[in-house]
Each structure stands twice: as structure tokens, then as C-alpha cells.
Amino acid sequence: MDLGLRDKVCLVTGSTAGIGLETVNLLRAEGAIVVSTGRSGGDVRADLSRAGEPERVVRETEEMHGRIDVLVNNVGGTDIRKLEELTDADWQASFELNLMTAIRATQAALPGMRARGAGTIVNVSSTAAKRPSTSMPDYSVMKAAMLSFSRLVADLYAKDGVRCNAVTPGPTATGAWLGEGGLADQQGNRDEVLAKVGAGRPLGRLAEPEEIAAVIAFLCSPRSSYVTGAAWSADGGTVPIII
């Protein structure tokens, strides 16, 4: 299926590995013009958890390509930790990484999108936003706030032709889970942890990053032109639909 993304200018943050990189690859395969970002690589290097950096990346993308048609906010990360052990500094760091990166980039990209009367924003949240993970408390709270922010942007700017949606992936087979010292290692024996986590999904496994990227790419595209303010689960059936 042609997603209608040819020559669309797409900025994907946190996109040098994992879900972000697969999203970049898929969007480019669809003919989009994609700008990738990362702390140590990508088309524009930046630590987006620092104030001013998301705005700089948006500005440089617009200077390079004249506009931003699609913004994918994918920056995020966490460690396994207990609620009672989190310090104020831990909460602030998570706030900057998992929420403010998306807020700042979105605020920077909105004026251009509104002026053109068109734009698409996709925020990569987490299934932990819908069902908090007790071992990732700060991450769960920030990703839940991202869902509220996504809905706010959708409600405010639909009249200007801007759509905003969120994706809520479950555990995904990326370096965050599989890498040395990653989330699996932090919880015990890696193989045992991954087997248990996979068994906790109705589909019985972790997601592959390209599976999440496929949902993101659809929401980026004109094929989803009547979708805004939504939070699309891509979690193997982990969080049930409440009717």
C-alpha cells in the first residue's frame, strides 16, 4: 500500500536505534524526506532532554527543507526502579526526557504547520501510560501525561489542519530491553525475564520494532486522515479495551 508520504518532510526524534530507526527506514522507503536525530548520531545531533535543543532541531530541519510536514516524538527511556526510592532529581530527569522533549518539539513545529494549514504529529507513548508499570513508576506517569498532551494538541489545532495521535507500544525487542545492562538484565536472568515478559502478552512475545514503526508510519500518513486525538495500542493485546 502506498501511504502517500512521498516528499513529505518528516522529523523523527530519538531515531538512531530501535523503534525510531525502524520508523526512519520505513518512512524513507515510502519516499519521505526524513531527518533523524540522536545524541551521538543522526542527521542532526542533539540531546533533546536539554531545553532549547528540540527547538534547534526543528529550526534546522525547517532551514534545510523549508517545512516540517510530520513530527514523530520518539525520545524516551527508563530504568527499573522502585517508587519509594525515586528522588526529586529522578522525577525531574524523567520529566525532561520522557515528556518535555515532545512538548518542546511540538510547540516549535506548530507555528509552521498552522501557517500551512496542515501537519501531522505522532507521539510515541507506552502501554505503561494506560496500565502503569510498578517497576517503571516515573516513566509510566510521564507517558500518561504524553497521552493527555496528545489529546490537547489534537483538540486545539484540528481546525488548523493539524492532526495529533499517540502510539502505545508494549515491551519491544530493542536495545532498551535486550542490550547489556538493559531492562531485562536489571530484573534478573535475561532469558528468564524476557520469556516472562513475552508470556505476559496475549500474543506471547515482545514486539519487533518494525511492527511498531508500521503503526507510526500509518498515523503519519494521509491514509489516517480522519484519525486524530487517538492513542493506538500496539502492545500485543496487553491492555484490554474498556467498553
User: Helix 101-116 and helix 53-65: axis angle, to 10°?
Assistant: 30
Report the alpha-carbon distance of residue 228 to residue 217 in Å, rounded. 14
Give 95-141 as a DSSP string.
HIIIIIHHHHHHHHHHHHHHHHT-EEEEEE--GGGTS--TTSHHHHH
Exposed, middle or buried, 185 (CB in 10 Å: 0-12/13-18/19+)?
middle
Strands 44-45 and 70-73, sheet pairing: unpaired
Exposed, middle or buried, 97 (CB in 10 Å: 0-12/13-18/19+)?
buried
Which residue from 134, 103, 141, 137 is spatially nearest to 121, judged by alpha carbons? 103
Active site residue ranges: 139
Report the alpha-carbon distance of residue 209 to residue 20 in Å, rounded. 8
How many other C-beta atoms lie within 10 A of the C-beta of residue 87? 8
Q: Is 204 helix (H, G, I), strand (E, B) or coil?
A: coil
